[in-house]
Structure 1
Amino acid sequence: MAGTTVDDTLWENFHRVVNMTSRELRDWLAVEGAGEQTEALPDQAGSELGQRVVDILGKRRGDLTDDDVLVMQRVVDKVVGKRGVELDATISDDAERRRLMDIGHDALKP
């Protein structure tokens, strides 16, 4: 059901931690998720969570579902857990940076 209320804090935090555009994330997932299984369906490449983030980025706030809100909170929790609330923790591990990029956070972007 669409029209779920998203509180201002979650909305702002999600858009703060997801610092890749939907196009950047979609392109990243297509490259990262490329393989025999995804070649036929490039729009479905990458992690399921990453695909959900792309979907959420394409929605207006009033069109979000309860499940979208849960995904948003999950993404915020993951990124803040790795980078801290101020997103100032340095990611020195390339694999960790790639995992965060899979959900729309590029640690090298300001």
Structure 2
Amino acid sequence: MADALEIDALWEDFHRVVNMTSAELASWLRVRGADEEVEPLPDQAGPPTGRHVLAILQKRRTDLTDDDVRVMHRVVDTVGDLVDMENEPEPERTSEDTRRRHRLMTLGHDPLKP
């Protein structure tokens, strides 16, 4: 695992980009995981990375595993890349913007939140 200073910096970056609360993310994952015929159990809703982000939000920094650290790095990088694309000027909102927002929300980042 990375040293304490690296973990502290990653923890701050992760909580900066993950701007949804654990309750908001859990609710979003349940909505995204439901379809017309079946609704998954709450702890099985959403993609694995979204569930892992939710689990990390419910942990203390001292309880992080190596796997948590890998996921946190991936989320920080992915959100950073998608938010950069989102900040490019576009004349109007498109369905691609909606898909991008939904992907970001699955990682715990709602681009419409201040």
With structure 2 as the length reference, what TM-score do the two structures score?
0.81
2:112 aligns with: 108
2:98 aligns with: 94
The number of residues matched between the two structures is 105
Question: Deviation at 1:76?
Answer: 0.2
2:47 aligns with: 47
Unaligned regions of 5+ residues in structure 2, if any? none
Shift in alpha-carbon separation, 1:70–1:40, aligned structure 2, 3 A: closer
Question: Deviation at 1:103?
Answer: 0.7
Aligned residue for 1:43, secondary structure, equals helix
1:1-110 to 2 correspondence within 5 Å?
Answer: 5=4, 7-35=7-35, 36=37, 39-84=39-84, 89=87, 92=93, 93-110=97-114
Distance 1:68 1:26 in 2: 18
Unaligned regions of 5+ residues in structure 1, if any? none
Runs of 4+ in 1 over 4 A off after TM superposition: none
Distance 1:40 1:9 in 2: 34
> RMSD over aligned Cα, in angstroms?
2.4
Question: Deviation at 1:42?
Answer: 2.7
Distance 2:61 2:113 in 1: 24
Instruction: Identify the structure with the greater helix proportion.
Output: 2
With structure 1 as the length reference, what TM-score do the two structures score?
0.84
Distance 1:74 1:56 in 2: 13
Question: Deviation at 1:89?
Answer: 1.9
| Native 8 Å contact 1:17 1:76 kept in 2 | yes
